[in-house]
Amino acid sequence: MTAPEEEDLAAEWGAALEQEDGANSPDATRVLNQAEIDSLLGFGDEEETSEAQTGIQRIVSAGLVSYERLPMLEIVFDRLVRIMSTSLRNFTSDNVEVSIDSIVSLRFGDYLNSVPLPAMLAVFKVEEWDNYGLLVVDSALIYSVVDVLLGGRRGTAAMRIEGRPYTTIERTLVERLITVVLQDLSDAFSPLSPASFHFERLEVNPRFAAVSRLSNACILSRLRVDMEDRGGKIELLLPYATLEPVRELLLQQFMGEKFGRDSIWETHLAEELRHTELSLDVVLDEQTMPLASVMSLQRGDRITLNVAPGAPVMLRCGEVPLFEAELGRRENRLAVRIARELRQVPEE
C-alpha cells in the first residue's frame, strides 16, 4: 500500500470515529427510518386484531356507528335472506342459496373507493323515508344471472370478457334481478314499518351513484348468492340518514317491543289510582264581596245565599268542577244526588 493510500484510509477511519462519537453524544439528533415511523403510527405490516388497535386507529374509527346498536336491523337482513332464497329460485328456476357474508359500518366515501369494478350500481329510493340507498351487483353475479336466464348449461362457469362494457340485454336482465331484490327488501321491512323500495337508475361508475355525502356513516350488508357452481355477491348500502325515520324501531331488541312503557307498572298504577281518596266540596253558592265587608264581619252576622230552595249544587275537587247534584237529606245527614257530569272545556 502506497503512502497516499495509507493517508486516505487513515482519514476515512478518523471520520468514521468522529461520526460514532457524535451519535453517542447527548446533543445528537436521531433520524427515524420509515419502519420506525410506521410502527409509531400503527401502520405496520403485522396484522392487528380489533382488541389491539393503536391510538390513531381508535380515533379514526370512533366516528363510525356500529350496526350492533340497531339490533332489529340484523333480524330484518336475516328475514331478507330467507325471502330472497325463495324469490330468486322462482326467478332463475335454479337452486339458489343466499347467505350473509358480513354486516359492517363504514363511511360512504370509503365504500365508493373500494367498490370492485366492473359492477352495476343500482340507486333506489325509499318513498316512505324520502331518502336513497345503493345496491351493488358484482361482475360474477351479473354474468351468472345472464347465463342462467338465457339458458346456459349447468356445470359450466359463466364466461367473462374483460374490458367490454355491459350490453343492453345484460343491463335489462340485471334490472329485473334488482327489482326482485328490492321487492324482497320491502317485504323484509314490512313487519317493522311499511317501506317501498323503488328502483331509480343503474350506474356503472361509482362517481355517478353518490346518494350521500362522502363523510356520512352507512351500513353495508354483503350477501352471497350461490347457484350451484355459479354465483356472486350483492352489496346493500343503507346510509344512517335513510334509516333515521325508523331508528327507534331498529333499536328494539325484539319485534313489538314498546319503548318507555312497562305494562306491569301501568297495571299497578291504574289499580292504585282507583283506590285513591279524593275530597269533594259541595258548593251551594259563590259570592264576590269587597275586602272591607269581609273584614267587618262579626260573630252572629248572616250571609244570605242567592240560591232558591231545591236549586242544584256543584261538586268540585279543588278548583275543578266535576258534577252537578241535588241537595237532600238521608237519615240524619245531608246528602247529594249527582244529576249530571260537567265536561271540562280545554283551554286554548
pLDDT digit string, tens, across residues 270-291: 888 888 888 888 888 888 888 8
- Kind and range of the H or E run holding 139: helix 139-149
pLDDT at 46 over 50: no
Give per-residue pLDDT as tens, 158-177. Answer: 555 555 677 888 888 888 98
pLDDT at 322 over 70: yes
- Quick one: residue 296, left, alpha or beta (phi over 0 = left, psi -120 to 50 = alpha)? alpha
pLDDT at 3 over 70: no
- For residue 291, what are the CA distances in angstroms to 50, 294, 296, 300, 305? 79, 5, 9, 19, 18
Kindly state the cell numbers that stand for 190. 314490512
- Quick one: residue 163, left, alpha or beta (phi over 0 = left, psi -120 to 50 = alpha)? left
Compute the average pLDDT of residues 179-187.
90
Which of 327, 285, 319 has the alpha carbon at shortest distance from 305? 285
Q: Residue 95's pLDDT band (boundaries 50, 70, 90)?
A: confident
pLDDT at 24 over 60: no
CB 193 within 8 A of CB 128: yes
Which of 336, 333, 334 has the alpha carbon at shortest distance from 312? 336
β-strand pairing of 230-239 with 281-283: unpaired
User: Which structural domains are found in the chain, ordered by start?
Assistant: 67-250 (3.40.1550.10), 278-297+306-348 (2.30.330.10)
Listed in order, strand segments (DSSP E) in 50-196 are 97-107, 119-126, 131-138
Angle at 172 between CA 167 and CA 175, to 5 degrees: 125
- Quick one: residue 300, left, alpha or beta (phi over 0 = left, psi -120 to 50 = alpha)? left
Give the separation between CA 238 and CA 233, rounded to whole angstroms: 16
- For residue 322, what are the CA distances in angstroms to 277, 307, 308, 317, 336? 15, 20, 22, 7, 13
- Say if pTM beats, i.e. exceeds, 0.85: no
DSSP structure class, residue 307: -
More confident residue, 69 or 144: 144
- Quick one: residue 21, left, alpha or beta (phi over 0 = left, psi -120 to 50 = alpha)? alpha
- Bond from prior residue into 118 cis (ω within 30 degrees of 0): yes
Q: How far is CA 248 from the centre of its chain?
A: 8
Kindly state the cell numbers that stand for 117. 369494478
Which of 134, 133, 68, 132 has the alpha carbon at shortest distance from 102? 68
Q: What is the pLDDT of residue 336?
A: 83
More confident residue, 187 or 329: 187
Give the separation between CA 313 and CA 315, rounded to whole angstroms: 7
Q: Interhelix angle for 139-149 vs 71-92, to 10°? A: 30
Compute the average pLDDT of residues 29-48.
58
Mean pLDDT, all residues of the chain: 78
Q: What is the pLDDT of residue 155?
A: 57
- Kind and range of the H or E run holding 114: helix 108-114
